[in-house]
Structure 1
Amino acid sequence: MSMTRSKLAWMMAAGVSLLVISLATLQGQAEDKPVAVAAMPAVEVDVAPVVARKVVDWQSYSGRLEAVERVDIRPRVSGTITEVHFRNGAQVKKGDVLFTIDPAPYRAEVARAEAQLAATQARVRFTSAELDRAAKLVADSTIPRRTLDEREHNARDAQASLRAAQAELDVAKLNLSYTSVTAPISGRVSRAEITVGNVVAAGATGVPLTTLVSVSPIYASFDVDEQTYLRHIASVKDQTGVPVQLGLANEAEYSRAGTIDDVDNRLDPVSGTIRVRARFDNADGLLVPGLYARVKVGGSDPQAAVMVDERAIGTDQDKKFVLVVGDDNKVSYRPVLLGSRQEGLRIVTGGLQPGERIIVNGMQRARPGDVVKPKAVAMERPVTQVATR
């Protein structure tokens, strides 16, 4: 009986051992067999072909706006200011009255000169009549020739006095007109430095009554480096035809177009620059002398360029790159050299060819070597004919 139990226990232990060995064998086989993994779907990215376009290469500079004409308004006669006819900072037209100087003394001077002229005219008439009578009497030998000569002299003297009296009247009237101080040019006035009740003296000394600057056109002065001068300006026969564009401090782009007005006659040997002045229309009067201005100069003929969207450009430490999608939709890493930009599009000077496709949206979802699902789009912003550095 005990032998039967022992045999039964031995058989059960052997069965358990066989079961453990079988399970271990099956597990090992399962680990050795590769597990099939489902393929990841291709990532969809926005892809656009690089754009080839002819552009003009521009060079950008900083400058200041200057008035074409600036006038210190000064009195041409002395007297008391009785009226100021403008509002500080207002725009005025040529001929507008700015100040009035008390005209009473000058009206009196005109009246005196008119009276003097009338007296001289009467004398001229008298001496002329005397001369006519003397000429008749000399013909009859009634008076000597000397008397005729004296009356001729008196008549000529009266004529000279008449011209002097007329000149004095003209001066008196001119001085009276100067009591109305008018704008010699159209433009914008400063504040009135001399107000009503103050006495002013004629002449160029002393404080001006106000200053007046022209509004349109307006100058922008800036310094151009030697290379730009030689490439864009000196090589052009008519330097005043070189195009320029202007942008203000609060503008992202260049809002106004103009041309070079004049170039200085010498290069500064210290800075290696030459002074250039450009001319711009300012019909709206928004440009004010003294404002900071961004000016770009272009003079080269349009050149072929490859342009891409700014968003398509990535940064790898000190390098710039784009992700190119090949004909097999595989992504490749491409270092690029960048040039100037315009309205969100960047000129690529090296690394890309016209017609190649690049990722413009979704770069973070793609890596070099990946196969992607390209979605054809256009470059986000339209390309223009102008490029700036």
Structure 2
Amino acid sequence: MNYGQPTFGSDDHLALPGEGRSNRRWWIIGAAILAVLIVIGAYFAMSGGKKDGAATAAAGGGKTEQLPTVSVAIPGRQASARIISATGSLAARREMPIGVAGEGGMVTRVLVEPGQWVGAGQVLATVDRAVQTQTGASLAAQVNVARSDAAIAQSELDRAQALVNRGFISKADLERKAATRDAAVARVRVAQAQLAEQNARTGRLDIRAPAAGLVLTRSVEPGMVISSGSGTLFRMAKGGEMEMRAQLSEADLVGLPLGVSAQVVPVGGDTAFSGEVWQVSPVIDPQTRQGIARIALSYNPALKPGGFASATIRRGSTDLPQLPNSAIQSDTKGNFVYVVGDGNKVVRRAVKLGEVSDNGVAIAEGLAGTERVVLSAGAFLNAGQKIKPVLQKTQG
């Protein structure tokens, strides 16, 4: 027997040394590749499932989206007083400047002070009248002379009438004596008129109040020489009545009725004085586009002519939407509210505010009253944001 010799056959495979180990290695490599392919397939399968789930969630997002719950209300329209705010100056309703009515002279006495009440015709100051007094005395003496002449002429006429019937005097002489009497009577009247004129001139030396009222200013002192060119010596408020001359825009003046009530507060004080509009200026200042509404006020020491004041004028009433303060927002663009629009999305709406009262804030412009208005949380919302509105009732 021969050992160690290979045997060959037609169908037999030639087994080389190390061939078994090589086959096992290829089996291991193949198994590793297969495992990697399985892992990759599983990864893509899982990724596809997540995408499908995300797409499904996106498709049904309306069911799972969380929207903020916001209280809204429909304000409607309520009767609201229309308030007009204005500023202006205080003045005497009827101011009376008082100066020299006569020829003037040197002031001897000043009898009143600013803030004093005086009656009609009361003497405010006196002027020296020494010359005028002597002139008046002279004219009074002339009146007496004229009266004496008239009396003599009347006596002569009476005697002539007694003699004419006896034939001692002609009718022509009688007529001459009657004319002499009439001339003497006329001279009496002339002298009386001259005396009255002088007395009137003398009386005009007194500076008198033309009507009862309150003395506002005094610009004369004893010893001053005054004349018709001296200007205003005193200023008075007739009856002590005051007024505020409120400056209003052209739009506010249109249709402003007389007699509407107003409240006036002088600057520096907190007391409101009641008055009413008694005159509306028919002229608009072309520069400022403003006019004057004059508000009549009763006398009060706190109302000082020339001072500044603010006023609120109640101009009737109108139906306006009313909202609580929490619904009003403001920024650099002005006041606004949020209303709920299509798809429950909030929409910014600019508004103009009216009167502020215990019931809330009247909306003068910007709302019809039928909108759903956000009552609160407006500061946390943005225009276009979608919300879940909850309707609430407003206080009527």
1:311 offset after TM fit, Å?
5.6
Looking at structure 2, the residues matched to 176 and 50 of structure 1 have their Cα atoms a distance apart, in angstroms, of: 76
1:296 offset after TM fit, Å?
5.0
1:56 corresponds to which residue?
81
Looking at structure 2, the residues matched to 253 and 82 of structure 1 have their Cα atoms a distance apart, in angstroms, of: 42
Q: Does 1:263 find its partner at 2:281?
A: yes
- The higher radius of gyration belongs to 2
- Give CA-to-partner distance per residue, 1:329-370, whole Å, 9 cap, x none: xxx97856342133574213556959999868x999999979
1:206 corresponds to which residue?
230
1:218 corresponds to which residue?
243
Q: Does 1:283 find its partner at 2:299?
A: yes
**1:21-32 residue pairs with structure 2 within 5 A?**
none
Q: Does 1:232 find its partner at 2:255?
A: yes
Looking at structure 1, the residues matched to 151 and 127 of structure 2 have their Cα atoms a distance apart, in angstroms, of: 38
Looking at structure 1, the residues matched to 294 and 146 of structure 2 have their Cα atoms a distance apart, in angstroms, of: 58
1:134 offset after TM fit, Å?
1.4
2:168 corresponds to which residue?
142
What RMSD in Å do the two structures reach over aligned CA positions?
Answer: 4.5
SS, match of residue 193 in structure 2 = helix
**Amino acid aligned to 2:235:** T
Deviates more, 1:158-167 or 1:90-99: 90-99
1:80 offset after TM fit, Å?
2.2
**Alignment check: 8 A CA contact 2:98 2:209 kept:** no
Looking at structure 2, the residues matched to 92 and 310 of structure 1 have their Cα atoms a distance apart, in angstroms, of: 52
Q: Does 1:339 find its partner at 2:331?
A: no
Looking at structure 2, the residues matched to 280 and 81 of structure 1 have their Cα atoms a distance apart, in angstroms, of: 36
- Give CA-to-partner distance per residue, 1:185-219, whole Å, 9 cap, x none: 33443554332122333x3x124333334330435
SS, match of residue 152 in structure 1 = helix
SS, match of residue 208 in structure 1 = coil
**1:176-191 residue pairs with structure 2 within 5 A?**
176-191=202-217
**1:156-171 residue pairs with structure 2 within 5 A?**
156-171=182-197
1:307 corresponds to which residue?
322
**Alpha-carbon spacing, 1:277–1:170, altered in 2? closer, same or farther (3 Å):** farther
**1:49-198 residue pairs with structure 2 within 5 A?**
53-67=78-92, 68-198=94-224
Looking at structure 2, the residues matched to 188 and 50 of structure 1 have their Cα atoms a distance apart, in angstroms, of: 52
Looking at structure 1, the residues matched to 216 and 277 of structure 2 have their Cα atoms a distance apart, in angstroms, of: 28
Looking at structure 2, the residues matched to 66 and 181 of structure 1 have their Cα atoms a distance apart, in angstroms, of: 23
**Amino acid aligned to 1:288:** K
SS, match of residue 255 in structure 2 = helix
Percent sequence identity is: 19
Looking at structure 1, the residues matched to 379 and 288 of structure 2 have their Cα atoms a distance apart, in angstroms, of: 45
**Alignment check: 8 A CA contact 2:83 2:355 kept:** no
**Alpha-carbon spacing, 1:253–1:189, altered in 2? closer, same or farther (3 Å):** closer
**Alpha-carbon spacing, 1:354–1:293, altered in 2? closer, same or farther (3 Å):** farther
1:165 offset after TM fit, Å?
1.9
Mark the runs of 5 or more structure 1 residues left unpaired by the alignment.
1-46, 234-238, 325-331, 380-389
**Alignment check: 8 A CA contact 2:74 2:369 kept:** no
**Alpha-carbon spacing, 1:317–1:370, altered in 2? closer, same or farther (3 Å):** farther
2:30 corresponds to which residue?
none
1:48 offset after TM fit, Å?
11
SS, match of residue 302 in structure 1 = strand
**Alpha-carbon spacing, 1:74–1:378, altered in 2? closer, same or farther (3 Å):** farther
**Alignment check: 8 A CA contact 1:100 1:180 kept:** yes
1:104 offset after TM fit, Å?
3.7
**Alignment check: 8 A CA contact 2:337 2:373 kept:** no
Structure 1 segments of 4+ aligned residues over 4 angstroms from their partners: 47-52, 241-245, 251-254, 295-299, 316-324, 332-336, 349-360, 362-372, 376-379
SS, match of residue 81 in structure 1 = strand
Looking at structure 2, the residues matched to 356 and 289 of structure 1 have their Cα atoms a distance apart, in angstroms, of: 50
User: What is the TM-score when the length of structure 1 is the normalising length?
Assistant: 0.63
**Alpha-carbon spacing, 1:150–1:88, altered in 2? closer, same or farther (3 Å):** same
**Alpha-carbon spacing, 1:90–1:377, altered in 2? closer, same or farther (3 Å):** farther
Deviates more, 1:125-134 or 1:138-147: 138-147
Mark the runs of 5 or more structure 2 residues left unpaired by the alignment.
1-71, 340-344
Deviates more, 1:154-163 or 1:209-218: 209-218
Looking at structure 2, the residues matched to 321 and 219 of structure 1 have their Cα atoms a distance apart, in angstroms, of: 34
Looking at structure 2, the residues matched to 178 and 84 of structure 1 have their Cα atoms a distance apart, in angstroms, of: 15
Deviates more, 1:337-346 or 1:248-257: 248-257
**Alpha-carbon spacing, 1:141–1:286, altered in 2? closer, same or farther (3 Å):** farther
- Give CA-to-partner distance per residue, 1:153-196, whole Å, 9 cap, x none: 11111111111122223223323433432211334435543321
Looking at structure 1, the residues matched to 247 and 157 of structure 2 have their Cα atoms a distance apart, in angstroms, of: 73
SS, match of residue 321 in structure 2 = strand
**1:342-381 residue pairs with structure 2 within 5 A?**
342-343=356-357, 345-348=360-363, 349-350=365-366
1:91 offset after TM fit, Å?
4.2
**Alpha-carbon spacing, 1:161–1:199, altered in 2? closer, same or farther (3 Å):** same
**Alignment check: 8 A CA contact 2:324 2:375 kept:** no
